[in-house]
Amino acid sequence: MAGAPGGSRGSELEASPELVTHRTSLWGMELGLQEGANFVLREKVVRVMRIAFLGDVVGEPGRQAVKEAIAWLREQWDPDFFVVNGENAAGGKGITPRIAYELLRYGADVITLGDHAWDQREVIPFFAEEPRLIRPLNYPPGTPGSGFVVVEGNGKKLAVISAQGRTFMGVPVDNPFILIREILPELRAQTPCVLVDFHAEATSEKLAMGWHLDGLVSAVVGTHTHVQTADDRVLPGGTAYITDVGFCGAHDSVIGREKQSVIQRYLTLLPTRMILATEGIQADGVILVIDEKTGRAQKIERFQLPVGLRTVVGSSLGASQSPGN
């Protein structure tokens, strides 16, 4: 937008000494009109960090969704960082070094995990080689890998924490509410922008974590249940929150598995092989916009991106518009 005092931009509006309008866009530009008869463009640059977070990747269909989604998101919204939950990337159970490199090659800057982190044993020594692959923070001391990482790109720094819930999750991990708070001073000394992937089953535990960390981190995004929730919001302290971002994979399914195999288990209660579904592939996730200086979230919006259709469903985001327009 450009213009001069008293020019065509001003002539479109009724001159009023009291009139002040402004808009803050997701791209970090605040545009306003000064008071007075002559309207003057006021420009204030606000440096923001844009993050795309993609939900649990389920098998090869999920990896296909991630590949297309990252390419499209980069073209449309140009995020500074891509964070991907790779929890189910290897046939629906865990991740391998080869698949981790595949996701990194597609453009992931960080890969988070969850309760299936150890399902593929070959990944255990790989944690020492690849710091961008992180497992939940709240495993016992001495567990391979790290629960957090700080990455740099485009002159910016982002800290990412992976943590696992304890309610209905089976594994008796340490208390994530305590451990995340303990690690925050170390991370915030490097950057005010901190993203937490909280991999948990219970809605109440996820909500509690969001409020517990409000004002201390930039975002708390929930993973694990594979069903995207409609509660994306910025909490009063400036922390973006969503209970679950959904998953990347075949959505004509039961959370990524072939429908009949799951139904059969419920009908008979007998052990049933859970087959990966292949139809209705889409990538679920959120776009986060963070004030780079303060670490406070300005915006969170969820998306559902069907593979091949290049349209966004279930959100106010559209294929031809920038987030927030």
Neighbouring-strand partners of residue 301: 287
Predicted confidence (pLDDT) per residue in 145-189, tens digit? 999 999 999 999 999 999 999 999 988 999 999 999 999 999 999
Q: What confidence score (pLDDT) does residue 22 get? A: 26
Active-site residue (options: 22, 116, 199, 212): 116
Known catalytic residue at 116? yes
Angle at which helices 203-213 and 176-188 pack, to 10 degrees?
30
Q: What confidence score (pLDDT) does residue 310 get? A: 54
* Cβ neighbour number for residue 121 with a 10 Å cutoff: 9
Higher model confidence: residue 257 or residue 19? 257
Contact in structure between 153 and 181 (CB atoms under 8 Å): no
Predicted confidence (pLDDT) per residue in 238-251, tens digit? 999 999 999 999 99
Predicted confidence (pLDDT) per residue in 259-292, tens digit? 999 999 999 999 888 899 999 999 999 999 999 9
Q: What confidence score (pLDDT) does residue 308 get? A: 78
Q: Does residue 15 surpass a pLDDT of 60?
A: no
Give CA angle at 212 (209, 214), nearest 5°. Answer: 105
pLDDT exceeding 90 applies to what percent of the chain?
Answer: 78
**In this structure, CATH architecture of domain 48-306:** 4-Layer Sandwich (3.60)
What average pLDDT does the segment 120-131 reach?
Answer: 96
SS3 318: coil
Q: What confidence score (pLDDT) does residue 45 get? A: 65
Separation in Å, CA 49 to CA 156, 191, 200: 8, 12, 26
Report if pTM > 0.75: yes
In b/e form, how buried is each residue of 302-312, taking b as 16+ CB within 10 angstroms?
bbbbbbeeeeb
Q: What distance in Å separates the CA atoms of residue 215 and residue 115, rounded to the nearest whole number?
A: 27
Pairing of strands 247-250, 281-291: antiparallel
Separation in Å, CA 287 to CA 4, 252, 253, 313: 34, 24, 25, 14
Closest CA to 97 of 38, 56, 26, 145: 145
Contact in structure between 153 and 79 (CB atoms under 8 Å): no
| Helix residue spans in 195-324 (DSSP H) | 203-213, 259-268
Q: Does residue 19 surpass a pLDDT of 50?
A: no
Higher model confidence: residue 7 or residue 284? 284
pLDDT band at 3 (very low <50, low <70, confident <90, very high): very low
Pairing of strands 281-291, 233-234: unpaired
Q: What confidence score (pLDDT) does residue 317 get? A: 52
* Cβ neighbour number for residue 284 with a 10 Å cutoff: 27
Q: What confidence score (pLDDT) does residue 17 get? A: 32
Predicted confidence (pLDDT) per residue in 33-91, tens digit? 333 333 333 445 679 999 999 999 999 999 999 999 999 999 999 999 999 999 999 99
Q: What confidence score (pLDDT) does residue 309 get? A: 57
Q: Does residue 95 surpass a pLDDT of 50?
A: yes
Residue spans of the domains in the chain: they are 13-45, 48-306
Q: What distance in Å separates the CA atoms of residue 96 and residue 119, rounded to the nearest whole number?
A: 9
Predicted confidence (pLDDT) per residue in 201-248, tens digit? 999 999 999 999 999 999 999 999 999 999 999 999 999 999 999 999
Residue with tokens 């052990």: 271
As a whole number of Å, the CA-based R_g of the chain is 21
Q: What confidence score (pLDDT) does residue 272 get? A: 87
Least confident of 15-29, 260-274, 292-306: 15-29
Contact in structure between 136 and 114 (CB atoms under 8 Å): yes
Contact in structure between 202 and 234 (CB atoms under 8 Å): no
Q: What confidence score (pLDDT) does residue 171 get? A: 86
